Amino acid sequence: MGRIVKHLGLVDYSPTWRAMQAFTDNRTADTPDELWCLEHPPVYTLGLAGKPEHLIMPSQIEVVKCDRGGQVTYHGPGQLVVYLLIDFKRMGIGVRELVRRIEQSVIDLLAELGIEANGDVNAPGVYVRGEKIASLGLRIKNGAVYHGLSLNVDMDLTPFSWINPCGYAGLKVTQIKDQGASLTVAETAERLLPHLERHLTVKKETA
């Protein structure tokens, strides 16, 4: 069963989140998985365990409390967001393995661009020399996954300095542009998708 990829452009956070919930609630065993590639206008999102004290500087940026895992993060134009609407049961792997595969997709893309990156078993996401370049937050409901990843491409990183990103005080963030690669968000999506497709396809064991 093939995955459907949708390029949604710049869309508001809350309606997109509600659409993910509706998609997940209405899907059946036969519903194809979908990957939504998009950007959001400036918004802070707090995960289920999100603590308001991690918003350390008041600003005009909207704050949305949502139902993904993780703490607070920032989304804004110039950041690629990929929402992964996946039937997790079909994959036959654990959550930690799913997270690792998503991270590895980003790491492989960055390697293509000459950027050395790594994951961290204690703090999901992808890092370049200790600076966070991609964040991850998932929700699993009825054996299906929604929410996904955000990858900083070419954006104003300033609003990250007004929070403790992902709940870590002093955590620095970076982006593809600052690591010497020049890509648009759309180009980044096109180059990331084959890696996601490869890592999210679980090969069946042959007897």
pLDDT tens digits for range 103-158: 999 999 999 999 999 999 888 999 999 999 999 999 999 889 999 999 999 999 99
Residues 6+ apart with CB under 8 A from 154: 78, 175, 176, 177, 182, 183, 184, 185
Nearest CA to 78 out of 5, 174, 165 is that of 174
Q: Are 72 and 55 within 8 A, CB to CB?
A: yes
Is residue 68 within 8 A of residue 45, CB to CB? The reply is yes
- Annotated catalytic residue within 166, 183, 193, 196: 166
Confirm or deny that 150 is annotated as ligand binding: yes
Average the pLDDT over 47-63 and give the result: 88
Closest CA relative to residue 103, chosen from 117, 88, 85: 117
66 in active site:
no
Q: Is 71 annotated as a binding residue?
A: yes
Q: What confidence score (pLDDT) does residue 206 get?
A: 44
Report the pLDDT averaged over residues 54-83.
93
pLDDT category of residue 46 using cuts at 50, 70 and 90: very high
Indicate the angle between helix axes 95-112 and 185-200, nearest 10 degrees: 130
pLDDT at 182: 95
- The predicted pLDDT at position 207 comes to 41
Q: What is the pTM of this model?
A: 0.95
Residue 153 is assigned to a ligand binding site: no
Please state, for a pLDDT cut of 90, what percent of the chain lies above it. Answer: 75
Residue in this structure with the two tokens 């870590």, named with its chain if needed: 168
Q: Is 137 annotated as a binding residue?
A: yes
Structure tokens at 75: 């989304």
Closest CA to 78 of 189, 14, 156: 156
Q: H or E segment at 25?
A: helix 13-26
- CATH topology assigned to domain 4-199: BirA Bifunctional Protein; domain 2 (3.30.930)
Whether the Cβ atoms of residue 125 and residue 136 lie closer than 8 Å to each other: yes
Arithmetic mean of pLDDT, 159-172: 86
**Pair 169, 105: CB distance under 8 Å:** no
- Is 70 annotated as a binding-site member? yes
Whether the pLDDT of residue 2 is over 80: the answer is no
Whole-number percent of the chain with pLDDT over 70? 97
**Angstrom distance (rounded) from CA 70 to CA 74:** 12
